[in-house]
Every structure is written in structure tokens, then in C-alpha cells.
Chains A and B, each alone.
Chain A
């Protein structure tokens, strides 16, 4: 821990990345059921598809603390369980199995083969497994390939051999698959290019003549070595390979997919080639060639040769490819290929992985945007799509042929059943409290193209309301009860008002009943189903025991005393009297309540009581928790030997308002722990572990719920016991189904005064609650996701967004490269030469926008995320301009009126960067910002990549120049200018007259603006090149930022330099100060540095909890949301790092170097 910095930050993940790099399918639990395993960032997640509901449920998520590069499933011959092979940046290959009983991943093997890190010659980029599970090959982009033999030992345990090398220097690998060869020696096919000759040939001829080859590597299991068995040149543009079934299922071999063509290749077969059909339409370029970017092969049950491929082009179109084989005399396929057939299937979002489930579903792990889960309606067998066969195409890739076309159409074969929220790519994010709630919301822009969205994130659980009805009065409490112990559903709802009790029966309809035995002329304190078939009503004057035969036993409170608090379970009752005495009852063998002889006198007035549930197999709960108004909680024993004796006591900060003893599942042991939940009058909630033997209280956790006294209720959610905590808003305490850790999450529901469990035929796991005069019945369907998302559809890939300084509206700038603008599109569609069928416009959310090289489509949208939840206005940019930056600026010269400023570029080319011009557009706000109106635009040399309001004027970064503009009548007026960075200004932040300028490549520069001299003077820069993406000022001297290589850092300006820069009249001095090593006179110091495994796209200093400390919230491109919390003492840092060691990691990453921890807190 050698460091000179005294600053330590704690990194927490609020939302793990949702970008799936790879998804695999397998029977990982060892049963017939198939599961999907996805790799997202550093997380390995197992999903369980539910065919009956048409849903995908995440069952287990594991952080490997490393970059997962590739995953593959394999199964040993004769086994029924699939294992997972993982290659990561740890330089190791890991084999993992899923243990369904414990719901965890278990590491079986961890073999080191190379250096750690993502490197050019360290295998791990590609991974292929023999279909019979006998060997796997992992390769790097260049040169290295390692083959591991997988087998089992005499104990039937999986073994892995030492690696066999199949290296070839100066060879690049484009794709790698395993061949299906049945039980012959395993063969792997690679698509390779040898650049050795072209590196030596100055004439460039060797480069021109480079061939791409398909190479077979055979693992000789007998001799235990790998040979390069066969190689043959293929199409130069080929990029991807697919395995063709072999053995008894098919002809074996591979599909080689290149630009505009798919070729079947195998060492002992002829080549067959088919063109990829191109889209036909008025807005489509007929010359544009498609390539295959993803695909999946699926074998159907039954006949040999019954398999097909679904291959996807970059437009998202899926094509069904089938291979026809030569048949013998009996009509059986011989394994000799006759032709290749291709036809259009359907269109889905562009995938990083496709998985076809045996149950008839297709999982599309989208490369950007939501993941989709489709059901197959049919397999496109007998539709009217034109089928193209390989008979019409030459096998030689250089020979010309007539391209083929198809008309895309709405989906016929697939129907969408679930869209799984994914914030990937998360382009920008801001925190604001626009709804005036307790906690702020996170606003973000994500997605690409027509699937872009504006999303609002709120910490909370989704609640589905079942009933809301108005009652005649304002009830104080509500209970539900069943009639006998064996009932599954509740029979009565009991409502207590200020002086009456109302009983409602639950049936087809809910109606009042009067002959229940309940005393209706008094308020009620507690209701309980007791013993076999009794009912208990506790009211201020006594306890009423209603037997099944309607016999009533009444215990009356002693004279001049009344009952103030009560608690019950199915065998015990405890009540507290106004005198501070506690009376305890237990059920006798005959079902009647027996009072315990002695009363326990408490020191103060009792405010609340709690008995735990009777544990299974016991006759009583061991403990009674008593809360008194002297701010204490006492645990009393209920053991017959020591009845009502003090066990332990806990002092509190305020009087307790509610108590609940509850056994809940916990993360450590897999079993359950007894907790005492405490709610205080101050609105604080505490959770304490209650020792089941000694009654000791330990490990207290505190949380502020809201300003109202907290009330606690035991409810059942998704089959587990949970605590409903009510204050100014409702909260649910439960154990997370995946991690088993305790979570306390607010419900997205109005504040309740009382709540109780509710179970009926229509709603088995619901809750009933009181809100003012309303009775509400609701349920919680999903507790896996504690961030609520709301999406608003946007038009193009959002780049940046700003908020109106006063009103709850956002302005997004959206732009897409290589997409036709609406004007161009309309012109093409209105061309009279267009045939009718070509003019149909399909929804761009599914089919994308028509593409055209060099074109830009861009717009500015006004988004209302609070009331109307939609885009209010959209302004399209014309003349191939695209928006690159946005800011709201108040101009002092215009009486501080706020304007929206948008920077654009014309005819931009991304790489190498170029453009014909840049513009700064000015828009005026109307109707509190609901509308914007264009005023004028100013031409500048380059697209202004950064804009910011600065001292009543506009600060713009144009190329290397930093400029100050004022608003004029016809255009912006340049007031000051300085060249401050070496490359390109991409970001601006300011405090006072200090400006933090980020350069695209050279980290940040601090610039001071000297008003007197009207000069911009850089005075401090960095020693390290950082390809800055985002920055924020943490304080006047410190800047937090992120870069394109996925680092987060904090930089601080030396105190002396900071002081000097702000000195009055120091302009001339600063300007002529001696440069230090050809840079600014001073250097920034690095305070903290962290690699969060995602590219930070935004960072803000903010506060996520009311009354909590400030933290840094950052958002990552793959959908990660994280926070950095500063440590107050460096001691805590040491302790936390020690805690991290020894905690389990799968070892795929297994690097303790990153001090990070994943958890959900807000």
C-alpha cells in the first residue's frame, strides 16, 4: 500500500454493468432444464428461463473481479451436466460448475498459462470447445493457441491436462470454432492471416496478395499433440465462422461468412457459396454489402440433418440457412452436401450472442439496448419468402454474380415475450430531485439509434396495486386472519377505528359481517388466530378468546388499568398495561389461554411489544421484546424456568415505536438468523441480531426511514419473510434472492399508516394497508431489481443532455453517424420512380434507420420526465450537421436570460477526425422551457466539443482554442481567446474564475480567466496522458474524472499554484512565468486512481440520501452506476482492504489489486 496520497475512496457498485459480452446456453444444473449464462463486465450471471411465464429470471450473479473475455459450455461424454469454461484477463483458464442446491458457482480448475492482462499474444480472446467435451482451445489474436485435454479420472472427476501448444508466429486469428467430428480426433477451425511476408515487402505487393486461410488444427488424442492438419484460402473478407453439425447429424465443416457471402467449407467436401440478400427499398443503397455479425446453429430433434442456422447481419436481419444433403437410395441423407439455402427470417436487434432454447425461445443478448426474449411462432418453413440457393452462385470468391434482394417485413416467426432492461450504452447521467421526494432520482440517456431511451432511475421496488377503496372513517389499524390453523387463505379483514371495530369477510366480494364474535364497540389492539381454531381479539379493556363453537372467554384488564400494547403469536399472548405491568398468557393443551401468575413490572411505560413466531417443532417463542418510553428495549425470557426474566437490554436514541422479532434468511450460513427489528419515534429503523440461545443483542444496523415514527409489520414476499417498515414512505426489508444479503428498499407507493399481510385466492402473497381513509391491497412481484426504471423513447443515439436551470425539463442532443437524415429520406421516398412496395417505411425501433456512408442524422429533443413523460419537441438539424455539445447559458448582456446553446459539426468524419465547419446554435426557451425556438447560429472553424456558461457569457472549446463569446443580435461575439491545450478541448468545468479544461488526450488543464486583462491563462497541467471523457470539480483545487481506458482519478492542484493564480493583478506574472518542461508552470498531483472495469461517461459530486454525505456518482458505458465515498480516516481503509481479502472469488479474476466491492446501497 505504498502511496503518498492521503485520500482514500470506497468504491461501490449501485448497478452492475448490463452489457452482455457473451451468452451461452447449457444444462448447468444437471437437469433437463436449460439455463443461460451471461458474462457482463466482471459478472457471471446464471439466468433461468421460465417457459410458462415467458420470462427470464436471474438466479445467480457472481463478480469475478476481472474482465471475462470468453465463456463456453461443455459436457463430458455420458454426463448430463454442463460445465463453464472462462477465460479472463488473469492469464488463467477457469472451469466452473453450477451447484443448484447451494445456488453458487464452484471452481473446479484454475490453470495458469500466461501473463495477466488483455494482451496481444496471451490466449483468452477466443475459446472453442469440442462438441463432445474432450478438449478446448483458447487462442490470442496473434500467434498463440493452447489446447487443453478434458477428461475424467477414476473418481469420475473432471481433469484438465497441461496445455499443448499450437502457436504460429505472425499469424492473426479472426475467428475460431470447434468442428463437430463425432468421436474422431477433435478438430478446431481458425480463420487466419499470416502477415509475415507483408512485413518484409517494401513494394506492398505481398500485402496485396495476402490470403485469408481456413486452418484445421487436429488434436491427436493418441499421440497427445496438435497438428495443423489442413489449410485452404477462403474469401479475403471473411470474419466469422460457424460450426456445422457432423458425425451422424450432418456433414461437419464450417460456414465461413464474409462480406456479402456465406460459404460452406470442409476439408473433404466441395465449397458451396450463397450471397447474403440485401434489403430492397427506396431508401436503401443497392450496392451496400452486408456481413454476418452474429448467429446460432440449432439442431432439431429427430431426423439426421435436421438443423438450421440463424445468422444476423449488421442491420439486425436474421437469415435462416439450411444445408441440403445428397440422399441415398433410401432417401436418407448421406453426409455429402448438395446445396446451401438462405432466406429471410425476421429482424431482431443486433446481438452479441443468440441462444435458441429447446423450449422454443430465442434469447437475444443485444450488443446495445434491452436484451430481448422471443418465442418461436414457427420456423419459417412454409412462408412466401424467396429462398436463394448456392446453385446460382460461383464458389470462387473473386467471380462476379448478381446480388439478391429481399423486402424486410414485420416479424412473422418470432414474437417478443420479454424485454430485459439494459442501460447499455449509458451515455450520460445526472442526479436531480425533480419530484420533490425524499431521495433524488437519477436521469440518464442510453441506447443507440432508434432504440435510444431517456431513463429515470429511482431507488425502490415496484408495487402492483390490487384494490383501493374508500372507507367510512379513518381507521387506525387493520389485520387479516384465517379461521383455523390449516386454512391457506385469510377469512377476515378487521379494521379498528377510534371507538369501533369492523369485520369484513373475504370471499367473492368483501362485505361486512357482524356474527363473528368480535367485540365491535371498542377499538382493537391485536388480532390473532390461536391454536387449532380459536381467534383472539385484544382490546383496551381485555382479551377476547373466540372458540370455534362461538364460545367466548373474556379476560378483563384489572380495574383502572387498560391495555396499551399487545403482541401475539399462534400459542402466546403478551399485553402491557397502562401501569407498566406485563401480563403473559400461554395456550393450554385444551386450547384455552392460561395467564402466567406473576406480572412483570417495567420501569417506564411500555410502548411496544413483540413475540417472535413459534419456531417449528417448539411450543413457544423463547423471547419477548419490550420497548419502553425510557428509550430502551429489553429482551425477556419466556422459558418456563425463568419466565419474564431479563435477558438483555439495549439503549436507543429515542423511544421505540415498534418491535418485531423475526427469523430471516441470511447470506453467511445459508440458514436463517433471528433478528430484532426496532422502529423508533424519530423515524429511525434498527436491525439487531438476537442470539437464539442467550437472547443477547448484537450487530446493530441503523437506517433513517423518514420523519414519522416507524411501524414494523411481518409480511411474506416471494415466499420469504420480510419486514414492512412504515414511516413517511413504506420500506421493505428482505433478503436479496441472489446474494441473500439483507436489503432495505423503499416501495414505490404512497405513505401508509398501517400494513398487514394479506392472502386470498386471487392474491396469495399480498399486503393490506391504510393510507388516510383508504384501504389498499397490493403486492410486490419482483424483489430482484431495486432500481425502478422508466423509459422515454428517443430518436437517435443520445450524446449529451442538460437540464433546464429551473424547470423539470431536459434537452438531449442526439446524432447518428452513417444514417440518412429525415430530409434525405423523404426526398428518396418521394422520388416518382419508387415502386409501391419499396416505399413502405418500417418502424425504425426494430429495423433501424436507412444507412448511408458520410451522412448524419441529428436532432435536439425536449424531454419531460416528470409529468407527461414524453418528448415534447424535436428539432431536426439540417445540412448534414450533427450536434456534439450542449449547455444552458444565462447571458448577463440579456438581463440574465437563459438560452440553450448547441454546438454542431458539419460533414464530420470520426476517424481521422475532420469536418468542414462547426456551428454554435442559440435557442430561446418558451413556456418555462417546454419549447425552444431557434435564434441564430455562428460559424466556427471546428465543431465545438465543449460549451459552458461562464460569468454571464459563453465559454466554448473549439479545437485547441478556448473562447469566450457574448450573445449578439445576429451571431455570437468573440470576446477572448487562447490556445490552452495541445489537441482538442472535450470538456469544461468552472468555479469562480477558474476553468478546468479537459483535453481529448492530455488529461486536464486548469485555466484562470483574468477579467482585467481579459486573458485566459493555463497555469497547471498533468504529467500523464489521460484520454479524458468526463470531469467534475470536487472542490476548488480537486478534479475527479474518467478516461477512455476505464480509469477514475482525482487530481489536485498544488496549494501554492492555486493561490498564485487567484492573486489580484497576477495576470502579467502568470503569463510570463517560466514553463516547466515545456508545459504549464505547475503540475497536478494524483490523489486517487481506480480501474472500475468500465469507461466512465459521466461523474458528478452529489448526495443520494437525504442528510447523507456527498459522494461521487459515476456512470459507465456498459450501464454501470457506481459511487465513490471518501474515507474519513485512513485507518478504515486498511480495515476494509483486510476484510476484502479472503472473501471468495471464482479466481477467474482473483486479483486483490482492485479495491472494490459490489453491493447495493443508495
Chain B
């Protein structure tokens, strides 16, 4: 029992430290939101990738950067209705 508790505690610690660590009840919405947020953060963080997208869109890099952070707020639309 103690082992189980410790595993649970460790998982919780991981979840607190690393955003997006999954659990048994992760919903599709949570998972996809998380993936998209990770992707956007990576696009912003890799300078050549940001340039690539800016050239493709015909915008300047700073605008694309802020647009992507803006998209991170709700990357995959509204959350689903809570189901019991």
C-alpha cells in the first residue's frame, strides 16, 4: 500500500513540475491542447522555424510570434461539456 501511495505522490509531483504529464483520466481535449501548446512553444523557440512560418504567411516574425502565443490560449477550441 505504501508503495502505491508513493507512486501516486511521485506522479503528482511530476504533474506539478512538468506541465502536460498525463494521468489515467486525461481527456482528448487535455491531451490535444497540450500537444498544440507544446508545438507552438517549440515554433516560437526555434528561430529558423519562426522565420520559415513568417515567410510563408507573408508577415513579420514578431507578429507571428505573438499570434502563436495567442493561439496557445485555446489551441483546439472550447473544452467539451463535462460528462458525469
Contact = CB atoms under 8 A, between A and B. Distances in A.
Interface of A: 17, 19, 21, 41, 67, 69, 89, 118-121, 124-125, 140-143, 169, 172-174, 193, 195, 198-204, 207, 210, 239-240, 291, 293-294, 314, 350, 352, 367-368, 424-425, 448, 797, 816-819, 910-911, 1044-1046, 1093-1095, 1116-1118
- 7 smallest CB-CB distances across A and B, nearest first, come from A817-B58, A118-B45, A120-B41, A293-B62, A239-B66, A818-B58, A21-B47
Given A141-B72, A240-B62, A819-B58, A41 B79 contact: no
Interface string B32-60: 01000110111011111101101111111
Contact of B63 (A120, A291, A1117): A291
B82 interface: yes
A69 B45 contact: yes
Contacts of B63: 291, 293, 314
Interface in B55-81: 55-63, 66, 69, 72-74, 78-81
Interface string B10-25: 0000000011100000
B80 A67 contact: no
Nearest to A115: B18
B19 A448 contact: no
A119 B58 contact: no
Interface residues of B, number: 37
Contacts of B44: 125, 141
Given A141-B72, A314-B63, 12 more contacts: A119-B41, A125-B44, A125-B45, A140-B41, A174-B66, A199-B74, A200-B79, A201-B78, A202-B82, A203-B78, A448-B55, A911-B56
A214 B61 CA distance: 23
A195 B72 CA distance: 9
Contacts of A448: 55
B81 to A, nearest CB: 5
Given A352-B61, A817-B58, A195 B73 contact: yes
Contacts of B57: 817, 910-911
B66 A118 contact: no
Given A120-B38, A120-B41, A1095-B49, A207 B69 contact: no
B48 A120 contact: no
14 contacts: A19-B48, A89-B45, A120-B19, A141-B44, A142-B19, A143-B19, A174-B69, A199-B33, A202-B79, A350-B60, A367-B62, A816-B58, A1044-B49, A1118-B47
Contacts of B40: 141
B42 A119 contact: yes
B81 A202 contact: yes
B51 A367 contact: yes
A193 B46 CA distance: 22
Contact of A1046 (B45, B48, B80, B81): B48
Contacts of B51: 19, 367-368, 424-425, 1117-1118
Contacts of A89: 45
B46 A118 contact: yes
Contacts of A1116: 48
Contacts of B33: 199
Nearest to B54: A367
A1045 B49 contact: yes
A797 B79 contact: no
Nearest to B62: A293
A367 B52 CA distance: 12
B73 A193 contact: yes
- The residue among B33, B38, B47, B78 with the most chain A CB atoms within 10 A of its own CB is B47
Contacts of A911: 56-57
Given A199-B79, A1046-B48, A239 B38 contact: no
A293 B48 contact: no
Given A199-B79, A1094-B48, A119 B38 contact: yes
B41 A142 contact: yes
Contact of A1117 (B38, B48, B60, B69): B48
A797 B60 CA distance: 13
A1141 B26 CA distance: 43
B52 A1117 contact: yes
Interface centre among A142, A294, A910 (most CB of B within 10 A): A142
A1124 to B, nearest CB: 18
Contact of B74 (A17, A140, A195, A816): A195
A142 B46 contact: no
Given A142-B19, A818-B59, A67 B47 contact: yes
B12 to A, nearest CB: 14
Contacts of B38: 119-120
A567 B61 CA distance: 61
Nearest to B56: A910
